[in-house]
Amino acid sequence: MALLDSADREDEADLLQAAQYVTGESINFMLSHARGLITVAMTPQRLSELQIPVLKPQFGIKNMPRFTMPVDYTPAVTTGVSAFDRAATIQALVAPDSRPEDFARPGHVFPLAAAPEGLVARAGHTEGAVSLAQLAELPLVVAMCEIMAPDGNMAVAATLQRFLEVHNVPLVTVGQIAQALGVRPAGAED
């Protein structure tokens, strides 16, 4: 599934996959076709359980995501960078038996902390992905990859539509998720 934020934010889409369903093949698809940075949307509570700290932003931009220390799941990875190593790390981020000491820091997988108040506080891809998992009654850990066009620019408008059609990917918007949850997303007009 792809998640589109609003036109007054980035007006870009991220490819999403629930973390427990991630495979090396699906991460390779994201790398090969979506081409953006692969991150993992998570709740602050889960990040706290795994003792993965949020990085202090410096010289940030408006609506900047809350990056954490990147990690690798040491029991199952070699270098950490292959699609299969990243999939193992992402699966471990959602696994209930994972422990803080299972994750080397820094690593090659970039968790993002959702705003504690969700879409009410920040109407970004991170909060939208966690909220979508909530609606689907799945664990609140979601792999995401920004969708870039073949020319290296972000895929928007017709280019994004073509990507979705070619790969048969359904699209949902942050606004639709907020509406389904019955919340008013941050930045919504009166």
Provide the 3-class DSSP secondary structure of residue 34: helix
Domain count, the chain: 1
Asked if residue 186 belongs to a domain, the reply is no
For the stretch 138-167, pLDDT in tens is 999 999 999 999 999 999 999 999 999 999
Rg (CA), the chain: 16
Whether 53 is covered by a domain: the verdict is: yes
Distances (CA, A) of 52 to 1, 57, 112, 146: 27, 15, 10, 22
User: Within a domain: residue 27?
Assistant: yes
Domain presence at residue 187: no
Domain of residue 90, residue span: 2-181
Q: What is the CATH number of the domain that holds 56?
A: 3.90.870.10
- Per-residue pLDDT, averaged over 171-183, amounts to 96
Q: Give 32-62 pLDDT, tens digit per residue.
A: 999 999 999 999 999 999 999 999 988 877 7
Tell me the whole-structure pTM to 2 decimals.
Answer: 0.95
